[in-house]
Amino acid sequence: MKTNQPRPIQRTAPWIMALILIVGVAIPVSAAEIFVEVAPKTLNLQSNGRVVTVHTEVPYSDVDVYTVYLRDVAIQSWKASSRGYFVAKFRMDDIKAIDGLVLNDYNTFKFVAMTKSGEPLWGYIEVMVADRGWRPSGGNADPVDE
């Protein structure tokens, strides 16, 4: 007849504990929403601008540049800001060509990237999309409806 006595403590082989530790350290990957700012804040489809710039507060050396996208548009170039943060540049014509842009309203663009250690990063940007002609007036470039 069996009794409900506690079983003796069994020692786990040291190599199993080492394997559990190694696997446990290699698996965790966390994701992070990051602060991002865009320039220009208004995307005028009639402008002759060349670049849409996204500023982050992520250290420049942390970002895997080949994983950076703004609403499915791949990064064109990148640099470090004066504070050492990652700055992404996208071809404005590629951003203007995004299907489904809502004119004269704010559009949400998602910025995505990965760190060199495999951590996903993302941030959301509200961009006004306009379709206005521009005419110089007294040295200013004021928007005018066509």
Q: What proportion of the chain, given as a percentage, has pLDDT over 70?
A: 70
What type of residue is 116? K
Check which CATH number belongs to the domain holding 96 and give it. Answer: 2.60.40
| Residue 12 within a domain | no
- Do 90 and 76 meet the contact criterion of CB atoms below 8 Å apart? yes
Domain that holds residue 92: 32-131
Could you tell me which of 82, 101, 84, 83 has the C-alpha nearest to residue 92?
A: 101
Confidence of residue 132 (pLDDT cuts 50, 70, 90): confident
Confidence of residue 128 (pLDDT cuts 50, 70, 90): very high
| Residue 45 within a domain | yes
Which 3 state secondary structure label does DSSP give 18?
helix
Counted domains in the chain: 1
Is omega for the bond preceding 143 within 30 degrees of 0, making it cis?
no
| Residue 55 within a domain | yes
| Residue 84 within a domain | yes
Check: pTM over 0.85? Answer yes or no.
Answer: no
pLDDT score of 3: 54
